[in-house]
Chain A
Amino acid sequence: MCFQSYFGHLLWGPHKIRSRAVCGPRAPSCPWLVYTLFSSCSPKVCVVGSGPGGFYTAQHLIKARPDVELDIYERLPVPFGLVRFGVAPDHPEVKNVINTFTQTAKHSRCNFYGNVNVGRDVTINELKEAYHAVVLSYGAEGNRTMGVPGEDLAGVYAAKDFVGWYNGLPNCRELNPDLSCETAVILGQGNVALDVARILLAPISMLKSTDITQPALEALAQSQVRRVLIVGRRGPLQIACTIKEIREMVNLPGTKPEMLPADFEGISEVLKDVPRPRKRLTELMLKTALETPGEKELERRKSASRSWGFRFFRSPVEVLAEPRTNKTSAIRLAVNRLEGSGADAQAVLTGEVEDVTCGLVISSIGYRSLLIDPGLPFDSRKAIIPNSMGRIQHTPGVYCSGWVKTGPTGVIATTMNNSFDTARSMMEDMDSGALDVSAVKSGSQSITALLRGRGVKPVTFADWEKIDSVETKKGEAEGKPREKLLSVEEMLQVAQT
């Protein structure tokens, strides 16, 4: 408890210590207020979800306020969310952020509780009872569906599940995608689509030293996919991916680009007024699509056995099946034209359709947040929790950060800024009194007791480190940074013995 209130206790006899009443107006720079040990003064916050959204919010709060105690709840036994399950295996540097998150998790004022399903094992209301503030950072685990006939055919997969499969997400391990066809069509042109294309076409020699799962590596080694088309509704100026990923495709060994010059008509003329990021990206595409390659590049393309290309102005209409086997045989695409320009350009149907032969269709048109507790407001059109600067509407004391706050777009840096923003809102509310942190809250003490009573055994951060160690050792034997455990059962076995 703050020392002033401690002395107050001595002087005025035992009574419920209310920090504000005794300490006077909050003086954040006063170093004499000790918060952590005696619960009355320490704000207790819980974060639901241990991906970048959750961890960056936690990091900011812990750093900015010496009194906040933080508990992070995570459904899986393992932390880090999309950093572990979304970032492509051949992008290990992007995963370095795990080191920052690890430091936060091991901070004395932070605790990690894995294997806890908020919504099923414990409710939001129970968390609100136990904590001064709850932050929802559980991301977007659902899919936007294409909504076309044939979407359920064998050979059609959501990119989220395909990525989950090669990244070891436990509920994607049975995906067994059929890679026995020559052409794959990916709907969507964001970075996830580019990642999928790259993993489908990358040389096995490149993949086998990454943390891609062993079953995926073996399946890809047998894959007969030789051509990947990455299809978007609109044009080159509206493509959603970033330049790094395009460059990786252009430079991917053993592959050659296959673009349609007609798709790029009129593009270079409008480039001079376009902001730098869009300009550089478009210039790279133009170069790849239109420029005559030099001798060296020509040689490289001649010997390439695999190809990839963007296809623009096409929307999926139906996935067609081979009548006898009912396996995917083609995708019917509607031809669009653009109305308007720039980011707001709209794709309008022309009435024409085009069939593309393929055996693998991967829809990469967006992740989607789900509602985990009926007590929360939810905007099902945008699939986000309605909020204002991270403060959930009509729900005082509950905040959100990451993709569940803004929608499922953005790289780690975007989520970082978004999470810091939510943390700032929370701090403002603590300082103004809009978030009342004077009451005594039981925090993890009551929640862990509740979970115990329900037969739920949380996985601590130290337990995760056991899993981490097992995965790293298994990986060493194979020349990989880690060999991920693929099921929750295996993870719990290692964590809890």
Chain B
Amino acid sequence: MAASAAVRTSVGLTLKLSRIIPDCSSCPLYGSKSCVRSATNSQRRSSQDTFRIIYRHLQTSIGLYHSDDGSSNTEDPDDVVNVVYVDRTGQRIPVQAKVGDNVMYLAHKHGIDLEGACEASLACSTCHVYVSDAHFDKLPEPDEREDDMLDMAAMLQENSRLGCQIILTRELDGMELTLPKVTRNFYVDGHVPKPH
């Protein structure tokens, strides 16, 4: 049936998009042939095709930021760098990364909503992050051009950096990268709109 096929695809996608596992027990399709997690549904292709076409874009992370971190699957322990992103809702997202990873593209790879409008060209400030104090001083000094772009970021702090300019090293293990909460009070709290 069209509806169940659509449900099946939607479920698969939602699972991929979010890290939340749905509570299957509350669903009437649980255990039925229509359940996406059922082993028997792999035979039912035809009606699924239409939906696959419609939903294929959803398969990849919305915002589709290509990963620039030259990822391989090596799990060399010397290469591992653990960092934590704190997203705009305050949720902590631990990420296991590698030496050489770019903080902005790493965020994209893990579905964290860090924008990167100019694609790491030092021509915007949308990848602005706050770096944990313990690690801030371990970063190399910013290029003058990075400082120029940071000057345009909202809610600039002492520990502000552009995510696209942070490359992971072993020293940065445990670093926390907090996304600025650009809140509803963005304009109300006296902030002056930036010049253009």
Q: Which residues of A contact B (CB under 8 A)?
A: 1, 3-4, 6-7, 29-34, 36-38, 59, 62-63, 66, 91, 93-94, 96-97, 99-100, 103-104, 106-108, 190-192, 240-244, 247, 276-277, 280-281, 343, 389, 406-414, 416-418, 420-421, 424
CB atoms of B22 and A31 under 8 A apart: yes
Chain B residue, CB-CB nearest to A35? B10
CB atoms of A191 and B196 under 8 A apart: yes
Q: How far is the CA of A34 from the CA of B121 in the complex (A)?
A: 39
CB atoms of B117 and A31 under 8 A apart: no
- B193 is contacted by which of A33, A37, A410, A421 (Cβ under 8 Å)? A410
Q: Which residues of B contact A (CB under 8 A)?
A: 2-4, 6-7, 10-11, 13-15, 17-18, 20, 22, 27-29, 51, 54-58, 62-65, 113, 115-119, 121-126, 128, 144-145, 147-149, 151-154, 156, 182, 184, 186-187, 192-196
Chain B residues near A277 (CB-CB < 8 A) = 151-152, 156
- A32 is contacted by which of B7, B18, B154, B192 (Cβ under 8 Å)? B7
Chain A residue, CB-CB nearest to B12? A31
Chain A residue, CB-CB nearest to B57? A108
Q: How far is the CA of A495 from the CA of B193 in the complex (A)?
A: 38
Chain B residues near A29 (CB-CB < 8 A) = 18, 20, 22
Chain A residues near B125 (CB-CB < 8 A) = 411, 413
Q: How far is the CA of A244 from the CA of B123 in the complex (A)?
A: 9
Chain A residue, CB-CB nearest to B9? A34
Chain A residue, CB-CB nearest to B56? A108
Q: How far is the CA of A407 from the CA of B194 in the complex (A)?
A: 11
CB atoms of A242 and B152 under 8 A apart: yes
CB distance from A52 to the nearest CB of B (A): 8
**How many A-B contacts at CB < 8 Å in the complex?**
156
CB atoms of A416 and B6 under 8 A apart: no
Chain A residues near B117 (CB-CB < 8 A) = 96-97, 100, 412-413, 416
CB atoms of A66 and B17 under 8 A apart: yes
Chain B residues near A410 (CB-CB < 8 A) = 193-196
Q: How far is the CA of A30 from the CA of B21 in the complex (A)?
A: 10
CB atoms of B10 and A34 under 8 A apart: yes
CB distance from B25 to the nearest CB of A (A): 12
In the complex with contacts A29-B20, A93-B118, A406-B187, A62-B182 CB distance below 8 A: no
Chain B residue, CB-CB nearest to A275? B156
Chain B residues near A33 (CB-CB < 8 A) = 10
Chain A residues near B29 (CB-CB < 8 A) = 3, 32
- B121 is contacted by which of A7, A32, A93 (Cβ under 8 Å)? A93
CB atoms of A412 and B124 under 8 A apart: yes
Chain A residue, CB-CB nearest to B15? A31
Chain B residues near A106 (CB-CB < 8 A) = 57
CB distance from A252 to the nearest CB of B (A): 16
CB atoms of A103 and B152 under 8 A apart: no
Q: How far is the CA of A190 from the CA of B13 in the complex (A)?
A: 46
CB atoms of B149 and A244 under 8 A apart: yes
Chain B residues near A412 (CB-CB < 8 A) = 117, 124, 126
In the complex with contacts A34-B10, A247-B148, A62-B62 CB distance below 8 A: yes
Considering the complex of A and B, which 7 residue pairs feature the smallest CB-CB distances, nearest first?
Answer: A93-B121, A277-B151, A93-B123, A31-B14, A97-B117, A240-B195, A96-B119
CB distance from A95 to the nearest CB of B (A): 8
Chain B residue, CB-CB nearest to A38? B3
In the complex with contacts A93-B122, A96-B117, A242-B152, A34-B194 CB distance below 8 A: no
CB distance from B154 to the nearest CB of A (A): 6
CB distance from A223 to the nearest CB of B (A): 25
CB distance from A448 to the nearest CB of B (A): 19
